[in-house]
Amino acid sequence: MTSHDDGGAVTSHPDGGAVPSHPDGRAVGYRATHTLPLRTELKRQFKRRRTHLALGFLALLPVILAIAFAIGGSDSSGSGGVDLIELGTTGGVNFTVFCLFMSVGFLLIVVVALFFGDSVASEASWSSLRYLLAIPVPRSRLLQQKAIVSAALSALAILILFGVALTLGTALYGTGPLVTPFGDSLGYGEAVGRLLVALAFIAVNLTWVAGLALLLSVLTDAPLGAVGGTVMVSILVQILDQITALGHWRDYLPGHFSFAWTRLLAPTVDWHDIVVGSFSALAYAAVFGLLAWQRFAVKDITS
């Protein structure tokens, strides 16, 4: 039973009590911005095994590479070229560059796709999505909080890889200058600063992966489909990017500038590819994110 008084409403409970509510049915004190706090979502995601495995593997990767270097040693072909492994063991920053170079093209893509692609689809697969929305958490609010937490976990993953690689590399190979295959060098301190800027670019360049994974996450109830679909698209893009016959059309592919961060390792930085690559990734991320929001806003939630 509901009675009205000066535009307000009072909803009667079966036990005879009454709870005041707004004319639109919302309970008094309800605030959409207070639903699904970031701290709560972060705690939920940090407790998941996939988070532990993803972050743990990125922390373990530099250790695996260091062991491989120690066991395998140099594999110089005698052609007079610079051996990449020898270069990677000349100092801590060189080792860090090697770890990033080995991770940017695939491993970090998988990690970002995992965090974003699993965000909404996992709730649907657990049949908990409709209950989250019935709290009620507005759909745009839920998508926003999921995206922020996924972005935080992705950034943490990149920082873990960088931090472990730099710490381990410095401990094993010292604080020598950064040396490039072209003979250029940067002091340890300056090289670390350049690498921090490179990390920022790598994170920005991966936003298109995040946007695509989020879009697929709202399109399917299968987390594996969202994550796998994102990884498959990234592989296809990389294959197309190797086809030189496409000419300048390759510049429009997402991820075409994924290795532009290496420009920051030269004594004089060429910012063109870095700036263009950042705008390209952000543009794709904006489009994918908008499509995800539009689809999720009207999607029929059945699970």
CA 166, CA 94: separation in Å to the nearest integer? 9
Q: What is the mean pLDDT of the chain?
A: 85
- Using one digit for the tens of pLDDT, what is the confidence trace for 289-299? 999 999 998 88
For residue 4, give the amino acid letter: H
Segment 264-275, tens digit of pLDDT: 988 889 899 999
Calculate mean pLDDT across residues 145-149: 94
What does the alpha-carbon distance between residue 248 and residue 54 come to, in Å, rounded to a whole number?
Answer: 36
pLDDT digits (tens, 9 = 90+) for 149-183: 999 999 999 999 999 999 999 999 999 999 877 67
Q: What is the pLDDT of residues 40-78, one digit of tens each?
A: 889 999 999 999 999 999 999 999 999 998 887 655 444
CA angle 269, 273, 278 (to 5 degrees): 110
Cβ of 51: how many Cβ atoms within 10 Å? 18
The C-alpha R_g of the chain, in whole angstroms, comes to 24
The H or E element containing residue 231 is: helix 223-241
> pLDDT > 90: what percent of the chain?
61
90 versus 13: the higher-pLDDT residue is 90
**107 pLDDT above the threshold of 90:** yes
Interval 20-33: pLDDT, tens = 544 544 555 567 66
Give the per-residue pLDDT at 20. Answer: 53
> CA 281 to CA 278: how far, in whole Å?
5
Which residue in 86, 296, 265 sits closest to 180, CA to CA? 265
Contact 59/161 with Cβ under 8 angstroms?
Answer: yes
What pLDDT does residue 185 have? 86
Q: Given this model, what pLDDT does residue 22 score?
A: 47
User: Is the pLDDT confidence value at 254 over 80?
Assistant: yes
Helix axis angle, 139-173 to 92-104, nearest 10°: 140
pTM: 0.84
CB 169 within 8 A of CB 191: no
Q: Report whether pLDDT(207) > 80.
A: yes
Say which residues have a Cβ less than 8 Å from residue 251's Cβ, sequence separation at least 6: 276, 280
Report CA-CA distances (Å) from 89 to 28, 65, 301. Answer: 63, 11, 53
Residue-level pLDDT at 7? 45
